[in-house]
Amino acid sequence: MLQLRPNCERCDRDLPPTAEDARICSYECTFCADCVDAFLHNVCPNCGGGFTPRPIRPKNEWRPGVSLAHQPASTRRVHPRWGAEEQREFVERVRSVDPIYR
């Protein structure tokens, strides 16, 4: 199940479950759209993959046992695994390659 992480791993801004500017990679690394657009250039600094908008988990229980209340968002904040300069170099190395060829 997709882990709804509470913050941007780069700038630490809050990304609540309803955030429409949350972006995730295939490993659920989570960043805000501003960081993805301005700094990461669609390169996840942890895995090199691209990003997609994070889906919003429904708060209403449209189906039994399935809702944000039943499968709540994570409250454990995630911190950068790589230093800012290392991230920048990594992004520069990878960004020119289209995600489907990475």
Per the CB < 8 A criterion, the answer to whether 35 and 10 are in contact is: yes
| 94 lies in the binding site for Zn ion (CB under 5 A) | no
Q: What's CA 17's distance to the chain center, in Å? A: 12
| 38 lies in the binding site for Zn ion (CB under 5 A) | no
Q: From the CB of residue 102, how many other CB atoms can be counted at a distance below 10 Å?
A: 13
Residue count (the chain): 102
| 67 lies in the binding site for Zn ion (CB under 5 A) | no
| 29 lies in the binding site for Zn ion (CB under 5 A) | yes
Residue type, 97: V
Nearest-approach distance from CB 76 to Zn ion, in angstroms: 17
| 43 lies in the binding site for Zn ion (CB under 5 A) | no
Indicate which single residue of 19, 22, 32, 78 sits in contact with Zn ion (rule: CB under 5 A).
32
Residue 24 or residue 57: which is nearer to Zn ion going by CB?
24
SS3 38: helix
Per the CB < 8 A criterion, the answer to whether 87 and 45 are in contact is: yes
What is the binding site for Zn ion (CB under 5 A)?
A: 8, 10-11, 25, 27, 29, 32, 35, 44, 46-47
